Chains A and B, each alone.
Chain A
Amino acid sequence: AQSVTQLDSQVPVFEEAPVELRCNYSSSVSVYLFWYVQYPNQGLQLLLKYLSGSTLVKGINGFEAEFNKSQTSFHLRKPSVHISDTAEYFCAVSPNSGNTPLVFGKGTRLSVIA
């Protein structure tokens, strides 16, 4: 079975500062990795995903993430955040074969301060 640990439940950061949201996963098989964002009173939308290939993945809204297999991590980064990035961010994992459902972390609430 797979599991996801998001190491920070809340991350406050000033506008235009860089941010890193940390995600570690556990799995006995190879995995696909995802980051989703949930804005207030909305559903989740996909930011980016790692399936294979380059370990640096670029997503929407200037976010990127790096897959590190040896550290079983998939941290999300943005070099300069905006007020509009205030939201909850979820890391998710699934095995790369079969049809097992996505397993989500508990989320990290990013608060961007003006």
Chain B
Amino acid sequence: KAGVTQTPRYLIKTRGQQVTLSCSPISGHRSVSWYQQTPGQGLQFLFEYFSETQRNKGNFPGRFSGRQFSNSRSEMNVSTLELGDSALYLCASSLNRGRTGELFFGEGSRLTVL
């Protein structure tokens, strides 16, 4: 069974540009969550999607957005990139929304903003 797949794994952008990251969850998983990981702040929750609807949103500016498609694949977009957006962006999937279950993480997309 394939795990969570994130693309691209690495990317370099300059300030002001925008970026789109993709996440394919484990087959059958309907919930997708996104986290930003930085050395200073650890993992911070960005948003969660379930059945193509955003169900939860973290405390990030509107430059951060996302969506989920009917096949549960998800994308997140960051517009007008800032230096502070440099981070590892992790996607996690789970069967449903309940918190008793396990989150399965991808290897992440490492974004560097110059």
Q: State the A residues within 8 Å of B (CB).
A: 32, 36, 41-46, 49, 51, 90, 94-96, 98-107
Contacts and interface: CB of A to CB of B under 8 A. Distances in A.
B98 A99 contact: yes
A110 to B, nearest CB: 15
B45 interface: yes
A18 to B, nearest CB: 25
A99 B103 CA distance: 13
Interface stretch (B12-20, B73-81, B105-113): B105-113
A32 B100 CA distance: 7
B100 A44 contact: no
19 contacts: A32-B100, A42-B107, A43-B90, A43-B108, A44-B43, A44-B103, A46-B102, A51-B100, A96-B99, A99-B48, A99-B55, A99-B56, A99-B98, A101-B33, A101-B48, A102-B103, A103-B45, A106-B42, A107-B42
Interface in B59-110: 90, 92, 97-100, 102-108
Contacts of A51: 100
Instruction: Among B43, B100, B104, find the residue whose CB has the most chain A CB atoms closer than 10 A.
Output: B43
Contacts of B103: 36, 44, 46, 102
Given A43-B107, A101-B48, A90 B55 contact: no
A66 B61 CA distance: 37
Contacts of B102: 46, 49
Interface of B: 4, 33, 35, 41-43, 45, 48, 55-56, 58, 90, 92, 97-100, 102-108
Nearest to A32: B99
A101 B105 contact: no
B105 A45 contact: yes
B11 to A, nearest CB: 15
A49 B56 CA distance: 22
